A and B are shown apart, each in its own frame.
Chain A
């Protein structure tokens, strides 16, 4: 949207209209894409900018030691919205381009959950504030579940994990 407008040549007869820039895709690939061949694999690799693809790949892989795990405390930064959202990761839903995760926090005595879709251009950063199992003693082990929806009904366990992280 905005990137296309920035690099486009202006149209001489109108201030609002612009001529779309030439495509940066090779002609043979472009032809088969326009017929619909290999469209989904191409989009999966090309839609997301490569720096973002790097950290998405590590965070949402299945076996990487630095991957995002349910029970970790995370701060999500988004574009188009002035705020960041922090909280405990309750669940990760791995579906390729539709991958999403749910973050839960308690804001002014009300629990709030937000589901973020990873490949959205609005999602700019995910920062892991605390890995699961960072507390001492019994809490110092990773969660034994993939989906932590039981935390909705036990605020004590939420505070044990999240311990005073602001929204």
Chain B
């Protein structure tokens, strides 16, 4: 649940350490919450010191304090629900910086990322991460009891292996 003024740790080697969210890009409005796999616009609040030699080098993709960049959320402290009902939450909020074309700025990721990223289309980041918690294959579920829809206080996935209909 990342919104305006939420701070996130940066876990790639782009040079930033702490970023503050300014806008969540999946919503048309400015207020709203971002979760794992959502792109946000952020301001770099703290960054690693860039030495003069690094500044002059050609590979200077390092960001500085005060930069406005885009990022994708990879971990949230708010629990995220998987399709089969599992919930997963981390101890902190974390993100990976991106450029305007949805490509990563850094080259390496240091830390765990949530596997929900792959479901939202960030497979490149998931492949770079040293540890991904729980990959999930797609889960199809349907609810069929007799000829009528019955709403029960049970997760739909529990009924996917069981039909109560009569002979065809």
Contacts and interface: CB of A to CB of B under 8 A. Distances in A.
Q: Do A and B bind each other?
A: yes
Contacts of A111: 90-91
A115 B112 contact: no
B134 A110 contact: no
A1 B157 CA distance: 10
B168 A20 contact: yes
Interface size class of chain A, counting residues whose CB lies under 8 Å from the partner chain: 35 or more
A30 B166 contact: yes
Nearest to A21: B168
Interface of A: 1-4, 19-20, 22-23, 25, 30, 33-34, 36, 39-40, 43, 46-47, 78, 80-83, 85, 97-98, 107-117, 119-122, 152, 167
B103 interface: no
B67 interface: no
A83 B134 contact: yes
Contacts of B89: 112-113
B162 interface: yes
Interface in B81-122: 84-92, 94, 111-112
Nearest 4 pairs of A and B residues by beta carbon: A111-B91, A34-B146, A115-B87, A22-B167
Interface residues of B, number: 45
Name the prevailing secondary structure of the A interface residues: mixed
A40 B152 CA distance: 8
A11 to B, nearest CB: 10
Interface stretch (B34-42, B58-66, B135-143): B135-143
Contact of A43 (B75, B148, B154): B154
Nearest to A113: B89
A114 B88 contact: yes
